[in-house]
Amino acid sequence: MAFTSAIVLGGIGGIGKEICLQLIDRGLKNLGIIDVLDEAIASSSLDAFRNVKLVYKKCSVTDESELRKCMTEISNQLEWIDLVVNSVGVLDEINPQRAIAINYGGVVNSTLIGIDLMRKDKGMRGGNIVNIASITALGSHFWLPVYAGSKHAVLGFTRSLKNEKFFAETGIKFISICPGVTITPLVNFEEYFKKLSFPTMADEIMSITRTFPTQEVDVVGKCVIAALDDGENGSTWQCENGRIEKLNIVEYPRF
């Protein structure tokens, strides 16, 4: 892995913070973090990154113009970026427009901005964009259709950016990560059961979710590192129950 300057969106806690730490362990020197917390509140988490040049910006990924400003300022302050990781996500079935705007719209915003800031044909260095999807992007999930649908969109969007001519022009690769249930503040089933799309199904949904295997955030961080080391453009990776594997996504023939 030869990346030295990264922007991690949602890097204050949970999966995003772990990804930052593992990137630093692998030699990352410059780090930009974008999250929604005020810097004073985020300061305790930011202390973990003292060994690198750090720039923090408060911004919502749903605000494209503000996000472009923040990512551009980070790139200028770090002199360049060669990696963008989007780890932002919410579970909010009763506010579907909010969930879609953050989980999918935010990924689209940060990815397109990241391309503009890294492309070789504009004088930059190229690099990688890693988007965190979900295990729910690999199947159907009645118990959280809005979240699952938004993650299907993330996976489809990211995979669709793989193109040999585009890579030759920009020098940018795109990677999708699909974690299973990972212990973070986002995973709070008791709170989730208060926000179901279909409350009458709560008992059945509760019985299903109790069977899910869980894992710690370090597994997702290791998966990101493995994907970057592997280096395949357009690759999709699954990390679930502590296991990491590159997937062979089937391309169905057109009629």
Strand partners, 9: 34, 86
Q: Write phi, then psi, for 229 (nearest 5 degrees).
A: -65, -40
pLDDT of residue 142: 85
Of 41, 33, 22, 75, residue with least CA distance to 239: 22
Q: HSE-up of 138 (CA within 13 Å, CB side)?
A: 19
Ordered alpha helix ranges (H), the chain: 14-25, 39-46, 64-78, 96-100, 106-118, 145-160, 164-170, 189-192, 202-209, 217-230
Question: Residues 209-247: pLDDT tens digits?
Answer: 778 888 999 999 999 999 999 999 999 999 999 999 999
pLDDT of residue 206: 74
Question: Residues 29-58: pLDDT tens digits?
Answer: 999 999 998 888 888 888 889 889 999 999
Q: Are strands 5-9 and 172-179 parallel, antiparallel or unpaired?
A: unpaired
For the stretch 155-184, what's the b/e string if a residue is b when 16 or more beta carbons lie within 10 angstroms of its beta carbon? bebbbebeeeebbeebbbbbbbbbbbbbeb
Q: Is the pLDDT assigned to residue 99 strictly greater than 90?
A: yes
- The class (CATH top level) of 5-247 is alpha beta
pLDDT of residue 79: 95
Give the Cα separation of 255 and 39 in Å (integer): 53
Better-scored residue on pLDDT, 188 or 79: 79
CA distances from 93 to 144, 147, 150 (A): 7, 7, 11
Give the Cα separation of 255 and 238 in Å (integer): 29
What are the residue ranges spanned by the domains of the chain?
5-247
Please tell me what DSSP assigns to residue 184: S
**Token duo for residue 181:** 């249930």
pLDDT of residue 185: 65
